[in-house]
A = this chain, B = another copy of it.
C-alpha cells in the first residue's frame, strides 16, 4: 500500500523553494493540471480559503460594503479608457478573439482586475451626492498572464476579492483606503498570525492608475518579503476618464474620488512560508479547517473507538474536530496530520481511558500535554488560543530578528548577502536611487512605513537629504 509510506519533504534550509512545493502538494492543498500556471485547489486548500474568505467577507460587510458581481470579460476599448491602467495591464492579459466559430469584431480580455467595469457601472448609477458613498466589493477569479508561476504566490488565475468605492471627497476616499488596509492587517495578524508592516508604496511600485497605493508587507521564513494586501486611493483619474460625476449639495458637478483594494489566495502562500517547518504545514487555529485531529491508539481494543467518537461528539461544540479511525498505523497518522498542520493532535488509547485522560500534542512546539478528561473542555480552547498567540509571537520575533538597518548602499548590499530580510534605510524620494538599489542588490522598496524612524540624515543610495525611512527587501 503506497499510502502507508510516510510522506517526506525537502528540508527548508536545504532548498526553500523545493520545500514549499513539497508542502503545497503533499499537504494536499493543490494539484497541477494541463493548464499551465493555474492550480487545482484541493478540498483541504479550498476549505482553508473558505475560512479566510468568510472572515474577510464578514469584515467587509461590517464596514458597510455590499457584494456585487461584474462580468468576467472586458472589451479592449473599455480597458483602454484610463491610460496608466492599460499600460500597466495590457502586457499581462489573456485575449478572447473567438466565440464559437465566429471571430469577434473587438477582442475581449479576461479581467486582470475590474476597475474599468466598476467605473462604467458607477457612471450609470451615480448622479447626486445622495448616491454617495458607493461601497462595493466582489469575490471573483482574475487572470494575469504570468510567465513564471508558483502555487498561491503567482498564478495565471487566482481568486480574490476586489473592493471598489466612490466618495464625494478626497478625505473620505483616503479614510476608506486606510480603513480597508487596516481590515487586511487585522485579518493577517489576528486570524492568520502573520505580523505585517503597514505603509505606502513608492510611485514606482504603486498600482497602474492609482494616486497612492498602501500595502501590508510580511517577511517569509527565507528572508524574502511578500506583499499580502494592497489598498489604492485612485483619486479622480478614473472618474475623469469615465465621466463619473455627481451634483454636490451646492448643485455643482464634481468628479467622484475612488478607491480599490484587493486580497487574494496569495495569502495562503504567506501563511505557509511564515509558519511552516520541516514537518510541513503549520496552520493557525483560527484559520484551520480542522483544529483538532483525534488519533485513537490501539483502536482494535474494545471501547477505544467508541470512546474516541464520544470525545469527537463532545468537543465538536468547542472546536472544529475530526477523527481518523482508518486502519493506518498511528505513526502514519501522526506524520500525515503534522504535514497538514493541524494545530492539535488528541491521542487516546486504552491506558488513557483507564486513567481518565487524553494526550494533546501541539503542532507548533511538538509539546505533549496530559489532560484529565474533566479538564478537557476548559483546556482545549485555552490551548488553541495559546498556539494562535505563540505562532504570531514567534513570527514577529523572527521578523524583528531579520530586520536590520543600513546607512549606505554597500552596507545594504552586504547585509542582504549575509542574511536576507527587511532592511530599513532612508530614501531621498528619487526613482533613480530606487532603480540603482534594485539593480545592485535585487531588493525593492517594500513600503514607506506609517511608523517612521529617523535612521540617518541622508539617502542610503545618494548624498541627498532624506526624509523617508523605507523597508527594502527581496520579494516574491
Contacts and interface: CB of A to CB of B under 8 A. Distances in A.
Contacts of A157: 71-73
Q: Copy number of this protein in the oligomer? A: 2
Given A71-B39, A157-B73, A95 B92 contact: no
A105 to B, nearest CB: 10
B145 A99 contact: yes
Given A31-B124, A100-B145, A110-B110, A72 B40 contact: no
A98 interface: yes
A40 B96 contact: no
A361 interface: no
Interface in A82-124: 90-102, 107-108, 110, 117, 120-121, 124
A70 interface: yes
B74 A43 contact: no
Interface stretch (A61-69, A229-237, A342-350): A61-69
Interface string A236-279: 00000000000000000000000000000000000000000000
Nearest to A138: B46
Contacts of A43: 66-68, 136
Interface in A1-17: 2-3
B66 A33 contact: no
A33 B96 contact: no
A72 B121 contact: no
A372 B98 CA distance: 63
Contact of A96 (B3, B94, B120, B130): B94
A50 interface: yes
Nearest to A44: B66
A78 interface: yes
Nearest to A69: B41
Nearest to A95: B98
Given A121-B33, A157-B71, A98 B94 contact: yes
A67 B46 contact: yes
A253 to B, nearest CB: 16
A95 B94 contact: no
Contacts of A102: 145
A182 interface: no
A72 B145 contact: no
Contacts of A42: 68
A467 interface: no
A141 interface: yes
A40 B95 contact: no
Interface string A128-163: 001000001000110101000000000011010000
B31 A71 contact: no
A47 interface: yes
Contacts of A66: 43, 46-47
A315 to B, nearest CB: 20
A71 B121 contact: no
A75 interface: yes
A34 interface: yes
A71 B35 contact: yes
Contact of A100 (B40, B91, B121): B91
Given A3-B130, A34-B120, A73-B157, 4 more contacts: A34-B75, A40-B68, A49-B69, A72-B141
Interface of A: 2-3, 31, 33-35, 38-43, 46-47, 49-50, 66-75, 77-78, 90-102, 107-108, 110, 117, 120-121, 124-125, 127, 130, 136, 140-141, 143, 145, 156-157, 159
Which 3 pairs, one residue from A and one from B, show the smallest C-beta to C-beta distance? Answer: A38-B71, A43-B66, A99-B145
